[in-house]
A and B are shown apart, each in its own frame.
Chain A
Amino acid sequence: MAPIMKTIRNNSFLQGVGGRLRQAPLLGWLLGALLAVVLELLVGDPVARTLGMDRAPALFGFRVMLKSPVLIPSALVYVVLFYALPTMLVAGFTAGWMNKAAGGLLGVSTLVSLLVHLGLLYATLHLWGTLNDYRVLVLRLAFISVIATLSLNVVNGYLGEFSCSHPGFMALGAYVASIITVLLFVQDDVFGSPLLPPVIGPFAFPIALIAGGLAASVGALAVAIPSFRTRGDYLAIISLAFTFIVKSLIENLEVIGGPRGFMNQPQWAPLPVVFVAMVICVAIIASFVRSTLGKATCAVRDDETAAGHLTINTRRTKMVAFLFAAFWAGVSGGLFAHVLGYVNPGTFGLLKLTEVLAMVYLGGLNSVVGSIVGAVGIKLLQEILRPLEILKWVVLPVIIIVFMMVRPTGLIAFTEFDVKQILRPHNSQERRGG
């Protein structure tokens, strides 16, 4: 094995490619991904059929491989042909002028550069999703998980508590947002005819989401107030009790369906809405953790007494962190309800808690990028392993356990989220300068 690796390392062609790829900025990679997706959109299905698959594989061929191992080679060929090769080629060959473009954009303003990048990212995802509705669902669920994970990171990472209350917050957000939309805009068996014309519904949807988030914040008072007097394990139990209380309360409210769940939510959370919500959430949470309040939160985590002596109002800080996190958890719950068009209290139980906790700790505490990677990673993993059916929950825990052994602090813990660093051009000149 070693000589082969050495040959590969010393191969000048490969070295050249590697160097070029390393110089490609994010802009180049995004462009490459966009072109790759366009290519797949144009000829993906026919090529997939030639390779022996029914259609273009939904999630990078993993599901195809798990369903029928015979197709592993063709799935691999497909992934290389449509994703790896075009992206790398474009990123590598355009590295030069993409660096110029990235530098120029960043020169105009960070915001403009950010918007261009986000636009490219969205276009890529949108085109990727047009080929298969299942991909859109996975993306939406992944983005909702990003919101939930980030908000949990605010409490478990930046505030340093072990909060188990997030399923409860999400349930509150989901139910309150659903009740508002269904009551006001939908013809429903329980709530009767809509109170407002359904036409304005999609525009009022953000208000319903915010109301759901605020409801979760109000619920968070039940956890935030005890947090003045206690920390750590006892607070973990208080938050756990909160989750169970919310779940049990909803199960006992027959008006909103009780344990059977609540349905008929309008499908007002398509990909663009969820994407925008996620971007707003990432932006606000990233600036929260860099703000004075965010720094105060970290100070309270590291040493509450010392922080108090440094004139930080520890109670206010804890209160703000909890309510802020709960708000976003509520928003993610509201989105979740409107993606699935159905919620039941069983969804917001221990399994949800385990899932969100795994996303936070796998991605890494105190890190916005970590939460994004953790949430998207675990969500994708869950969907990829779905063909295993019941064995999915045997394999997934093993993967996570092994991962935690290799990286006990998670993937990307304790890193600042620096937009400029991510968007910067990658040519050698810049690097010397920076």
Chain B
Amino acid sequence: MTLHEFFQHLVNALQWGSFYALIALGYSMVYGVLMLWNFAHGDIFMTGSYIGFFISTGLVALGATGILPLPNWLILVLTILLAMIATALVGILVERVAYRPLRDAPRASAAITGLMVGVFLETSNLALLGARRRNYPTLINTVTYEVGGVSVTNTKIMIVALSLLLMIGLHQFVQRTKWGMAMRAMAYDFVVVPLMGVPMNTISALTFGIGSALAAAAGIFFGIAYPVLEPYMGVYVGWKAFVAAILGGRGSVLGAALAGFLLGFIEIFVAAIFPSTFRDLIAYTIILLILTFRPHGFFGEPFSAQLRL
């Protein structure tokens, strides 16, 4: 591999990793606050992507008929914002329907309902919209820059920059605001903290909402970068992001983001060196080895408390 190729793959890996990182953040936040894995999160990513697709297509169509002509950049901004809000509502709904009734139940029962919500979202999408793949409308005319022989498109720069911006924003929110402090407190102890007047239901809804909004952003970026949507797109991306979330350490937001990028790097470079069918095989073997020798992920704490399984 020449140095040029290396940097080319590095750019691709940054983009690919930012999807994983954004989705993994949602898993990790929910886990940190509520001690449960939201197995429907990958499908919320898919839902967010579809919502973004419908909003952007709708706005483009409105513009074409002349009712509401908007410049493309405004459509993109509106799509991202509206889709994030709408998907946040979907996430809150999922929490309300599938997780809140089971909060005192064994953790594995909530995992089952989560898995089932995921299957429900996938299949109802398939049943409603059909198996036809959908393409995102082109909102940005791709411009390719050549930097020392490495080609970088403006969409890639935008995706990576916006993803980093969202991650920094989340970090600031969690560290600086009162709500963020409540979330951190809940993550520290979700038995005592609600007794001190922190509204548990509001905080958990907030956590699901923020996580889902980030997943929606990832979904839209994914749709822009790889403009093909299909109902099962959330399954593989979502499960890999889940793996990244654990690899980063349970409940660690920073760890999830880093592990997301790491997974992106592993996958892109494996696909670059080996035949691409080996991608999963080698990526998962590396993860298995990492977890065998570092059993608590990068930033995770070793177990002290009894598990609620």
Within 395-434 of A, Cβ neighbours of B (below 8 Å) are at 396-398, 400-401, 404-405, 408-410
Residues of B within 8 A of A39 (CB): none
Other A-B pairs beyond A404-B112, A405-B113, 4, CB < 8 Å: A241-B285, A252-B277, A393-B122, A401-B117
With beta carbons under 8 angstroms apart, the residue of B243, B250, B295 that contacts A241 is B243
How far in angstroms is the closest Cβ of chain B from A286?
Answer: 22
| 27 A–B pairs (Cβ distance < 8 Å), ordered by A | A161-B309, A162-B108, A162-B309, A229-B292, A229-B295, A231-B303, A233-B37, A233-B250, A234-B295, A234-B300, A237-B246, A240-B243, A248-B277, A248-B278, A251-B277, A252-B281, A303-B306, A350-B235, A354-B119, A358-B115, A361-B111, A365-B108, A393-B119, A394-B123, A397-B116, A398-B116, A410-B109
Residues of A with C-beta under 8 A to B242: 237
Which B residues between 96 and 147 are near A, CB-CB below 8 angstroms? 97-98, 101-102, 104-106, 108-109, 111-113, 115-117, 119-120, 122-124, 126-127
Write the nearest CB–CB distance from A386 to chain B, whole angstroms.
14
Q: Is the CB of B291 within 8 A of A394?
A: no
Question: Do A238 and B292 have beta carbons less than 8 Å apart?
Answer: yes
Enumerate chain B residues within 8 angstroms of A160, measured Cβ to Cβ: 309
Does B108 lie within 8 Å of A361, measured CB to CB? yes
- Is the CB–CB distance between B109 and A408 below 8 Å? yes
- Whole-angstrom CA separation of A374 from B127 in the bound complex: 27
Q: Would you call B250 and A350 a contact (CB within 8 A)?
A: no
| Closest 10 pairs (CB-CB, A-B) | A408-B105, A230-B295, A397-B116, A393-B123, A248-B281, A397-B120, A248-B280, A241-B284, A237-B246, A408-B109
The CA-CA distance from A240 to B235 in the complex, in Å, is 13
Residues of B within 8 A of A357 (CB): 111-112, 115
Chain A 225-253 against B: per-residue CB contact (8 Å), 1 yes, 0 no?
11001111110111011101101110110
Closest to B120 in A: A397
B residues lining the A interface (CB < 8 Å): 31, 37, 97-98, 101-102, 104-106, 108-109, 111-113, 115-117, 119-120, 122-124, 126-127, 235, 239, 242-243, 246-247, 250, 277-278, 280-281, 284-285, 287-288, 291-292, 295-297, 300, 303, 306-307, 309
Q: State whether A398 and B120 are in contact (beta carbons under 8 Å apart), knowing that A238-B292, A245-B284 are contacts in the complex.
A: yes
B31: chain A residues within 8 A (beta carbon)? 233
Q: A156 within 8 Å of B by Cβ?
A: yes
Residues of A within 8 A of B300 (CB): 234
Q: Knowing A248-B280, A393-B123, say if A361 contacts B109 (CB, 8 Å).
A: yes
Contact A237 B287 (CB under 8 A): yes
A310 close to chain B: CB less than 8 A? no
* Cα–Cα distance between A247 and B120 once the two chains are bound (Å): 24
Name the residue of chain B whose CB is nearest to the CB of A226. B292
A43 within 8 A of B: no
Q: Which of these, B112, B123, B288, contacts A390 with CB under 8 Å?
A: B123
- CB pair B101–A234 under 8 Å, yes or no, is no
Contact in complex: A237, B243 (CB < 8 Å):
yes
A244 touches B108 (CB 8 A): no
| Complexed CA–CA distance, A242 and B281 (Å) | 9
List residues of chain B with CB within 8 A of the CB of A252: 277-278, 281
A362 within 8 A of B: yes
Question: Do residues B109 and A409 form an inter-chain contact, with CB atoms below 8 A?
Answer: yes
A255 within 8 A of B: no
The answer to whether the Cβ of A222 comes within 8 Å of any Cβ in the partner chain is: yes
- Whether A226 contacts B127 by the Cβ 8 Å rule is no
Contact partner, A405, options B101, B284, B287, B288, Cβ 8 Å:
B101
Q: Does residue A391 face the partner (Cβ distance < 8 Å to B)?
A: yes
User: Are A222 and B288 within 8 A (Cβ)?
Assistant: yes
A229 to B288, CA, bound (A): 13
B106 surroundings in chain A (CB, below 8 A) = 365, 408-409
Q: Inside 8 A of A397's CB, which chain B residues have their CB?
A: 116-117, 119-120, 123
Contact residues in A for B104 (Cβ distance below 8 Å) = 408
**Also in contact, A245 and B243, with CB within 8 A (given A234-B296, A408-B106):** no
A244 touches B309 (CB 8 A): no
Q: Which A residues lie within 8 Å of B119 (CB)? A: 351, 354, 393, 396-397
Nearest A residue to B281, CB-CB = A248
| A351 vs B239: C-alpha distance when bound (angstroms) | 12
In the bound complex, do residue B292 and residue A362 qualify as a contact, i.e. CB atoms below 8 Å apart?
A: no
CB nearest to A350 among chain B residues: B235
Cβ distance B198 to chain A, nearest Cβ, rounded Å: 24
CA–CA, A264 and B212, complex, Å? 46
Contacts of B246 in A (CB 8 A): 233-234, 236-237
Within 8 A of B (CB), among A207-237: 222, 225-226, 229-234, 236-237
Beyond A248-B281, A251-B277, A405-B102, whether A240 also contacts B127 by CB under 8 A is no
Chain B residues with CB under 8 Å of A238's CB are 288, 291-292
How far in angstroms is the closest Cβ of chain B from A161?
A: 8
CA distance A185 to B105 in the complex (A): 50
Contact of A230 among B126, B281, B291 (CB under 8 A): B291
B111 proximity list for chain A (CB < 8 A): 162, 357, 361
The interface residues of chain B lying within 8 Å CB-to-CB of A156 are 108
**A234 interface neighbour in B97, B281, B291, B306, Cβ under 8 Å:** B291
Question: A120–B287 Cα gap in the complex (Å)?
Answer: 51
Shortest beta-carbon distance from B50 to chain A in Å: 16
Asked if A245 contacts B281 (CB within 8 A), the reply is yes
**Which chain B residue shows the least CB distance to A349?**
B235
Q: Is the CB of A245 within 8 A of B124?
A: no
CA distance A74 to B46 in the complex (A): 43
Q: How far, in angstroms, from A245 to B286 measured CA to CA in the complex?
A: 10
Residues from 154 to 183 in A contacting B, C-beta threshold 8 Å: 156, 160-162
> Whole-angstrom distance between the alpha carbons of A10 and B199 in the complex?
50
Question: Which residues from B are CB-within-8-Å of A390?
Answer: 123, 126-127
- Least Cβ distance of B100 to chain A in Å? 10
B97, B250, B295: residue with the most chain A Cβ atoms closer than 10 Å: B295
A232 in contact with B291 given A252-B281, A401-B113, A405-B101 (CB within 8 Å): no
Q: How far is the CA of A430 from the CA of B101 in the complex (A)?
A: 42
Bound-state Cα–Cα, A151 to B31, Å: 28
Say yes or no: B116 contacts A400, CB within 8 Å: yes
